[in-house]
Amino acid sequence: MNITLTLRQTCQLDSEVRKRRYLYDGTHSEFYNRDLRAKAWDDIAAIIFQNQWNTLSNADKAKRAKYLQNKVTVEDLAEMNRSVDVQDVETRHTPIIEQPVTDQGRSNRSDEEIVIIDLNAPTAEDRQVHIIFHR
């Protein structure tokens, strides 16, 4: 059985995984609930392959769910975990405008920059908001 996802299905996969934070966020209380995670992948497969889902055997359904689980790479999950909305940034991190520089010319703090893009903003300059925070 050769499975190929369309662009629409790939976008839908990304969207469905993001809705289920416990699939990629190690701090989520349900992250280690294997039954819930397996059920989530089955549910996602049913959504992605909705046109054929009712005609597939249980074995084919399981293969498709496993295929989707393997298609979403560790890098994808890490990126989902890093993507933070504005509320999350405001509640969990203190934004820093400038970093103090040591004599060596570099701060020894670990900094991270998040770029949030607002596609509804009127101009290109207003679309990107850069937030720098440290851990």
Q: What percent of the chain has pLDDT over 90?
A: 28
According to the model, what pLDDT value does residue 18 have? 87
DSSP secondary structure letter of residue 121: S
According to the model, what pLDDT value does residue 15 have? 87
For the chain, which residues make up each domain, given as ranges? Answer: 7-82, 86-134
Q: Give mean pLDDT, residues 5-13.
A: 86
According to the model, what pLDDT value does residue 5 have? 83
Q: Is 131 exposed, middle or buried (0-12, 13-18, 19+ CB in 10 A)?
A: middle
Higher pLDDT, 45 or 99: 45
Instruction: Quick: pLDDT tens for 10-35.
Output: 888 888 988 998 988 888 899 999 99
Maximum pairwise Cα distance, the chain: 68
According to the model, what pLDDT value does residue 95 have? 42
DSSP secondary structure letter of residue 14: H
